[in-house]
Amino acid sequence: MKIIHCADLHLDSKMTANLDSKKARERKIELLNTFNEMVKYAACNDIKAIIIAGDMFDKKTVSKTAANTVYQAFTDNPDISFYYLKGNHDEDTFIESLINKPDNLKTFEENWTCYRTGEKNNIVITGAVLTKDNKDRLFNELVLNNDDFNIVTLHGQESAAGTKDKTVVIPIRDLRNKGIDYLALGHIHSYKEAELDKRGVYCYSGCLEGRGFDECGEHGFVVIDIDEDNKTCKREFIPIAKRRLYVINVDVSGLNNSANMISRIKNVLDEKRLSKESMVKIVLSGEVDAFCEKDVDFIFKQFEDKYYFTKLYDETKLKVSYEDFRLDESLKGEFVRIVLAKTDISDEDKAMIIRYGINLLTDDEI
C-alpha cells in the first residue's frame, strides 16, 4: 500500500511578504493548484491514503475557494483516504464548514485516534492534535501493537528551539521504542528524515511550495510504499512545487563598476541554470572600493525580468584605502583624512560618508 505524507500546505497564505498583490494572488492560486497536483499524483499512482500532518490552512478563516477546492479533491477521490491532522495554523473552521463530512476524510482529536487500513488490515495510522494541555500525558498514552505497521502523525517542533505561537515541542526521545515505523511530522517547512529508533524513522515532509526566501530548496511530499507482508517500507521524496526559491550569493569583491558586477552576477546565475519560473534573491557580498561605481538599481534592472520574481540585496562592504589619500593635497584628500580620523563613527559609516562625499564632488550618484 502506498501512502502520501505531506504537511504545511498553508493554503490561503497571503504571500505578500515579497510579492506585489498581483503575484501574491497568483502564488495563492498556485498553492491550491499544487495541492490538486499532489492529489492527482495520488490518483494516478495507486496511492490509497494521504496524511496531511497539519497546517493545511494558513489562518483561522478559510476562503470559500480554498475550502471548496479541498472539499472537491476529497469528494472527487473517494478511493483515497485523507488523514487530516490540525496544525498550529489550522482552526476547526474548515471541518465545521462542511455540511457533509466526506467518508474518506479522517480527522484526529486531542487524544490518540487510530485508523486501521491496508489490504491485510495491518497498517495503523495514529495521530493526535498536540496542545499545551495534552503534551505532558499524550506520549505516555501512546500504545501501539508491534505486529502492525504503525504510522504516527503529529504536528510540532522536533526540539525546543524556535517555538512560538501554539507550536508544541515533539519530544522525539519519548516516541522511541513505541513500535512506530514511520513518524509523519509537520511544522518544519523543509524535508528532513532521520532515524527514530532501530525500528522506525521520523520525517518532516516540508511544505508543498516555498513561500519566502527562508523556504528555499525543493518542496514536495513523501510517498511511503509499505510492504504489508514484511511490514517494511520504502520512502521517496517527490518534489512537486511549481516554483523554487533561491538565495544566490554573488561575491563582487574587487569589482569597481556596475558593468563588472552585472557580468559576475550573470555568470553565477548562468552556472546555476535556474528555471525562469524561479524566485531568486541575489545577494551582493564581498568588499568593494568605496569609490567604485555601483548602481544597485541599475544592476537590479538587468535581472528584474529574468525570473518570475527577483530581488537584489546589496550586502557589500566598502573598502577605503587610506594610503591613497594620506598625502593627497586636495579637498578629497582632506575630506578622507578627516573622516577616517573620526573616532565616533563606525567604519561602515565612515566608508559610506567617504563614498557619499566623493560621489558628491565627482557628480556621481549617491
User: Which residues contribute to the site for other proteins (CB under 8 A)?
Assistant: 14, 16-17, 21, 60-61, 91, 93, 96, 329-332, 334-335, 337-339, 342, 345, 349, 352-353, 356-357, 360-363, 366
DSSP for residue 214: T
> 231 or 332, CB closer to other proteins?
332
Minimum gap (Å) between residue 348 Cβ and other proteins: 10
Radius of gyration of the chain (CA): 27
CA 19 from chain centre, in angstroms, equals: 16
- 275 burial level (CB within 10 Å; 0-12, 13-18, 19+): exposed
Minimum gap (Å) between residue 250 Cβ and other proteins: 21
Minimum gap (Å) between residue 134 Cβ and other proteins: 21
Minimum gap (Å) between residue 333 Cβ and other proteins: 8
> 178 or 355, CB closer to other proteins?
355
> 206 or 357, CB closer to other proteins?
357
Minimum gap (Å) between residue 37 Cβ and other proteins: 26
In terms of DSSP bridges, do strands 317-319 and 287-289 run parallel, antiparallel, or are they unpaired? parallel
Distance in angstroms (rounded) separating the CA atoms of residues 108 and 299: 52
The dihedrals phi and psi of 202, each to the nearest 5 degrees, come to: -120, 150
47: Cβ–Cβ under 8 A, 6 or more apart, which residues?
Answer: 2, 3, 4, 41, 80, 223
Query: Would you tell me how many other CB atoms lie within 10 Å of the CB of residue 150?
Result: 24
Minimum gap (Å) between residue 107 Cβ and other proteins: 17
> 60 or 234, CB closer to other proteins?
60
> 193 or 328, CB closer to other proteins?
328
363: Cβ–Cβ under 8 A, 6 or more apart, which residues?
Answer: none
Distances (CA, A) of 217 to 31, 65, 144, 178, 323: 16, 28, 35, 32, 45
> 17 or 194, CB closer to other proteins?
17
Written in H, E and C, the secondary structure of 302-354 is: HHCCCCCEEEEEECCEEECCCHHHHCCCCHHHHHHHHHHHCCCCCHHHHHHHH
Minimum gap (Å) between residue 41 Cβ and other proteins: 31
> 143 or 360, CB closer to other proteins?
360
> 143 or 331, CB closer to other proteins?
331
8 A C-beta contact, residue 278 and residue 246 = yes
Q: Which residue has the cell 472539499?
A: 71
Minimum gap (Å) between residue 275 Cβ and other proteins: 26
